[in-house]
Structure 1
Amino acid sequence: MNLSKDDTAKFKKLGIDSFLELSLLIPHSYEDYRLHTQLLPQKAQLIDATVESVYKAPNSIQVTFFAHNLGHTIQGVLFRPKPYMLHQFKVGDRDYYYGIIDCKQGHCSMSMPKKVTKIGKITAKYKTALRNDVMLRLVEKYLTKENLLSEGLNAAIADAVLQLHFPNAETLDGMQLSETSLEALKYIELFSYMRLLAGKRRYFKAVTSLSRDYAPWSETLPFTLTDEQIKAIEDIKDDLKKDVAAKRMVVGDVGSGKTMVILAAAYMMLPERSILMAPTTILANQLFEEAQKFLPEAKIALVTNKTKKEDLSAYDFIIGTHALLYRELPNAALVMVDEQHRFGTLQRNMLEKLVSANEKRPHYLQFSATPIPRTQAMIESAHIDVSLITTTPFTKDIDSSVIHKSDFSTLLTHIKAEIAKKNQVLIVYPLVEQSEMLDYQSIDEARGYWEKNFENVYVTHGKDKAKEQVLMDFREKGDLLISTTVVEVGISLPRLTTVVIVGAERLGLSTLHQLRGRVSRTGLKGYCYLYTNQQKSQRLEEFVHTTSGFDIANLDLKFRKSGDLLKGLSQSGSQFRWIDFAEDEKVVKQVKRDLKI
């Protein structure tokens, strides 16, 4: 893309880097400077007119025109005129004027007429950081079919988008985007974005490549892996064979058995070393316990802030929190990050570099329990391979319902009954301290009631430095846990059967799903109550009838609209205007095929 220095500055001002992105800045309207012989009521229109009179009132200029093309007298009115406007209208002059004509009972008026010189064509109007005339010149100079084809578009899509910038009479019809135009815009938007993602993907030589089979290990398990767990493990097995360092994201719903995929990856890597970073001490401990149980042949280490520093080079599998970043780590052939969204990009990259051998990089797997729409997974695959685990090893039996103030006594009865069965209850409050902005109790306001009426009540929240210890104590000895959304991810609470979410309408559907996923982890009957002051909420009603995290992600799209979501898709500030995640899987497939991703 060869641009002059001046035009490069204009592209920068528009926030674009390619002809494709320029083509997406479509006009918001058009001005039709063709001369018509018929009146177009209440539409902007060009007249070939002689000025018959000019009258200047205190706040307006009134001009009488005779429109030769229409054979009609028209009264022009300019409100709050600027001084220069008066000079455009001289009695006896014949020129071309443009404005909206409105006729009532034979009298026609033109609002805010302006003198024009570009006659006979339809002109696009843009709302951009550039003046319209500057934008028009830029578009005329660079938006050519040749330039769009050189960017990789096919001819049909190039023609469809060019028609929006260089319109004909049909383009103006009804001012609605045609199906063809809309499809072209969706395609270009995705094509441009995914090509950029693919360009950012970097390939490194792997520390090692192996092809150890996981079958001997899976046969020792006391349960059968699900088809989707096996598919994810097979994907990883194929990755580990390559001499290019793998980059894969495994996205699984709450309770879908990602831990077994992690352990299978570590098993396949043996005798080479694997390292796993988890976001909390509780999670690291749980993973360590599972690894000891199901990987007896591996020598496993646990690294947290509490563990003593030691030489880790004798271990096959090192599991830890971000404390790993501050230890001397031996080289590893595989790096895994659990709940990857809980770590910053910097931390994830730091771990990868810490254990790299010179120019060679370890295979890299990241795991997430936040399901994403299928379409997003397909888009993300431009820069990282993606495996989805959409099923769970066993179906959870959880009743979900929306409740209000009038249901409180029924809720209390249920809580007492569950505690009597030695089950545990979680109540999630929106805030720790009282707030006048919120029509719900905070933890500080509510805890007194629960502590007075129940035994073994534990309280924690995000700012509580001892929260991990509180959760561990609650797991062993508690009946009731009062908390904020700090329990959203991670800890396994086998006896937890009920979650009550106060002010549920304030939380995203994926957060509600994560909280609901805390209960019924071991097959017990579960209950999720969404407490709200809203009389009716279609969003919450649909949530209680949806159990799959991937369906929840699509439901979230329906209520949030994909434009909002996409803003954060790649953390690059890129915003999709045309693509709809819930609807446009077909377009994504086409773009992937064309880009050979």
Structure 2
Amino acid sequence: MNYLRKKSKTPLFQLVTEVPKSYKNNSLFSNLTVGITNNLFVKVLETKIIGINFYMKFQNLISGENFSGTYFRFHYGVPKIFTIGKELYIKGKISWSEDWGFQIANPVEIKKPNDTVEPVYKSKAIEKVVLKYIDYGNFKKYGVPYWVIEKILEIHRYPTRELAEFYEKEKTFPEDYIKALKYLEIFYYIKNMKEAEKTFPPLQKLSGDWKSWAETLPFQLTGDQKKSISDIAIDLNSDTAKKRVIVGDVGSGKTLVILASMVISYPHKSVLLAPTSILSEQLFEEAQKFLPKNFKILLLTSKTSQKIDLNEFDVIIGTTAILYRDLPEIPLLIVDEQHRFGTRERNKLKQLVENEEKKPHFLQLSATPIPRTQAMINSTFIEVSLIEEIPFQKKIDTNLIGAGDFPNLLEKIKNEIEKENQVLLVYPLVEESEKINYQSLEEAFPYWKENFENVYMTHGRDSEKDEVLREFREKGDILLSTTVVEVGISLPRLTVIVIVGAERLGLATLHQLRGRVSRTGKESFCYLFTRSQSEESIKRLEKFSKTTNGFDIASMDLENRKGGDIVKGNKQSGETFRWIDLVKDKEFIEDFSSQFK
């Protein structure tokens, strides 16, 4: 009953994707049709019993064809139904072979077919709700094209015999029906997201001169950086409070885009929110290094004195501690890696952005590349910028290794440490587990500690992890960690990463981990250690090892996962689309998205 209540509140376009599980075809078949259930008018010509099976010979009274039938493991009532000379209507699946010709298996007597086709749903409750809302008028008022309405109504309300036969044989719909379902699925997704986005006037229109600032930098911005900043400049000078998602590959220079946004905001204030203290510190250091010297910049954490007057600062950078302070008017709010915040922090952030009549402009940064097709769809209801260009070409040699490669790995680690470079070993678990065939952090640490100097260890539950990472960055040779180092942390001397149990991680996570090395362009090495014997897993890792482009890897990940929702801050693991394939439907999505901008 809860399910029915939930469905009755589901929007029209989402209900449409609750397609029938099958069709009840009540049509009378003139000719025998192989591979599907036939309704036939027949005469029983012969019968015989052999063992536990009942054999029959029929004549199709419409076409005159003769064919055989078998009722396997028949019950005592079957011979009474199929008596020689009897004419009746039967139903069963038809097959054909060279030895036996046409055959029907386990036929049953039915009433005279009435030439109707009925959709069959998972439950009567779903059928009732779906059919209540699906009609021409409901679709027309939303502006759905006639060709889409026609196919959807045929799926749900007026299925044809041809459609029912195709669906039974192929277990899917013909291509033009699938296209209609895809159209409505994206249509619903965009409509839903647009309705959720209310428009408000901005706290301030912002128009600082970022181009003059860019000329003071000791390097050239990439084309993608300039395009993203130009788009942001247009947003921030708008009469509407804007939201934009900046999606950048690992090492693509998103920080410079953030700093340019702060320049555009000046002399008005901007706030940058990061998920961890160490990331906040890195961003603070970059801001001090590259922003104009007259900018007053504050690093705000839980340890920052309550007595500090936030009104005195142009730029405030910090952790979620920012959300629990009395803030001055903030025309520009920037959030880095929003998906890494907890529910409580997300709710506080939502209040900060949405509770007043006027709103700040909102920039969301993500280091998790999304497929370009997902970006096309999202760009119809929220501004999306992709930063694909990398300021310098990373030199990362990625290889799969097994237990037999350990001596060579040790030699490589020793060589890199001698060059004053650093090594990161990523383990799947903190403690020993019988469930997986890999060492944990705690099991592996004694070996490395005994054989090497300056060895550190941290993980997600380690309350001192930020301090450990700071100390390792300055003094360490080897760091053992879980995937806590996945995003954003800058370790300039890191040239080797070993990922233990690599097949257990998604390609996006592997890409983020690999992105920790070669941060300054040094030749670096990524080793994917696996004990997996799965051909599919090995092929997947080999494919990953041949590219360093995060957007290509995001598309590769979609072969095993469904697209997520960057607007709501989710990573790409939740299922968003049932009919749309973000990898294969690129042309369809591109054409559709251009219509809705």
| 1:235-266 C-alpha deviation (Å, 9 max, x unpaired) | 11001111211111101111111111111111
Q: CA deviation at 1:505?
A: 0.7
**Where do residues 138-537 of structure 1 align in structure 2 (5 Å cutoff)?**
143-165=134-156, 166-168=158-160, 170-171=162-163, 172-173=165-166, 175=170, 177-295=173-291, 296-309=293-306, 310-344=308-342, 346-351=344-349, 353-354=351-352, 358-535=356-533, 537=538
Change (3 A) 1:86 1:462: farther
Q: Is the 8 Å Cα contact of residues 278 and 284 (structure 1) preserved in structure 2? A: yes
The one-letter amino acid of 1:540's match is L
Output the CA distance in 1 between the equivalents of 2:486 and 2:3.
46
Q: Is the 8 Å Cα contact of residues 79 and 112 (structure 1) preserved in structure 2? A: no
Change (3 A) 1:248 1:93: same
Does residue 48 in structure 1 map to residue 48 in structure 2? no
**Where do residues 90-109 of structure 1 align in structure 2 (5 Å cutoff)?**
96-101=89-94
Q: Is the 8 Å Cα contact of residues 233 and 264 (structure 2) preserved in structure 1? A: yes
List gaps (5 residues or longer) in structure 1. Answer: 1-5
Does residue 129 in structure 1 map to residue 123 in structure 2? yes
Does residue 576 in structure 1 map to residue 577 in structure 2? yes
Q: CA deviation at 1:486?
A: 0.8
Q: CA deviation at 1:74?
A: 7.0
Output the CA distance in 2 between the equivalents of 1:15 and 1:77.
46
Output the CA distance in 1 between the equivalents of 2:565 and 2:491.
35
Q: Is the 8 Å Cα contact of residues 544 and 553 (structure 2) preserved in structure 1? A: yes
Q: CA deviation at 1:446?
A: 0.8
| 1:372-391 C-alpha deviation (Å, 9 max, x unpaired) | 10111122224421111011
Matched residues, percent identical?
A: 46
Output the CA distance in 2 between the equivalents of 1:92 and 1:138.
46
The one-letter amino acid of 1:546's match is T
**Where do residues 30-109 of structure 1 align in structure 2 (5 Å cutoff)?**
30-41=23-34, 43-48=36-41, 68-69=61-62, 77=71, 96-101=89-94
- Using structure 2 for the length normalisation, give the TM-score: 0.87
| 1:18-76 C-alpha deviation (Å, 9 max, x unpaired) | 1x4444333444444333343345642223357999999xx999999886446669768
The one-letter amino acid of 1:188's match is L
- Using structure 1 for the length normalisation, give the TM-score: 0.87
The one-letter amino acid of 1:519's match is V
- Corresponding residue SS for 2:526: strand
The one-letter amino acid of 2:454's match is N
Output the CA distance in 2 between the equivalents of 1:30 and 1:356.
47
| 1:439-498 C-alpha deviation (Å, 9 max, x unpaired) | 111111111110011000011111111010000000111011111111111221111111
Q: Is the 8 Å Cα contact of residues 53 and 70 (structure 2) preserved in structure 1? A: no
Q: Is the 8 Å Cα contact of residues 27 and 124 (structure 1) preserved in structure 2? A: no
1:113 is aligned to 108
Change (3 A) 1:98 1:140: farther
- Corresponding residue SS for 2:322: helix
The one-letter amino acid of 2:228's match is A
Output the CA distance in 1 between the equivalents of 2:377 and 2:67.
59
Q: Is the 8 Å Cα contact of residues 300 and 317 (structure 1) preserved in structure 2? A: yes
Q: Is the 8 Å Cα contact of residues 282 and 491 (structure 1) preserved in structure 2? A: yes
304-313 or 490-499, larger mean C-alpha shift: 304-313
Q: CA deviation at 1:315?
A: 0.9
- Corresponding residue SS for 2:124: coil
Q: CA deviation at 1:503?
A: 0.8
List gaps (5 residues or longer) in structure 2. Answer: none
Output the CA distance in 1 between the equivalents of 2:425 and 2:507.
17
The one-letter amino acid of 2:551's match is F
Change (3 A) 1:86 1:268: farther
Change (3 A) 1:397 1:593: closer
Change (3 A) 1:210 1:405: same
Does residue 589 in structure 1 map to residue 580 in structure 2? no
Q: Is the 8 Å Cα contact of residues 305 and 323 (structure 1) preserved in structure 2? A: yes
The one-letter amino acid of 1:203's match is T
Change (3 A) 1:36 1:520: closer
Change (3 A) 1:542 1:356: closer
Change (3 A) 1:552 1:207: same
- Corresponding residue SS for 1:48: strand
| 1:50-106 C-alpha deviation (Å, 9 max, x unpaired) | 7999999xx9999998864466697684978899x9999999996533223568858
- Corresponding residue SS for 1:152: coil
The one-letter amino acid of 2:123's match is A
- Corresponding residue SS for 1:367: strand
Q: CA deviation at 1:119?
A: 1.6
Q: Is the 8 Å Cα contact of residues 329 and 354 (structure 1) preserved in structure 2? A: no
| 1:341-396 C-alpha deviation (Å, 9 max, x unpaired) | 11146524523534778411111111011111011112222442111101111111
Q: CA deviation at 1:270?
A: 0.9
- Corresponding residue SS for 1:265: helix
Change (3 A) 1:11 1:445: closer
- Corresponding residue SS for 1:313: helix
Change (3 A) 1:422 1:593: closer
Output the CA distance in 2 between the equivalents of 1:552 and 1:566.
15
Change (3 A) 1:222 1:177: same
Q: CA deviation at 1:307?
A: 2.0
153-162 or 71-80, larger mean C-alpha shift: 71-80
Output the CA distance in 2 between the equivalents of 1:109 and 1:46.
11
Change (3 A) 1:590 1:87: farther
Q: Is the 8 Å Cα contact of residues 501 and 529 (structure 1) preserved in structure 2? A: yes
Output the CA distance in 2 between the equivalents of 1:39 and 1:167.
21
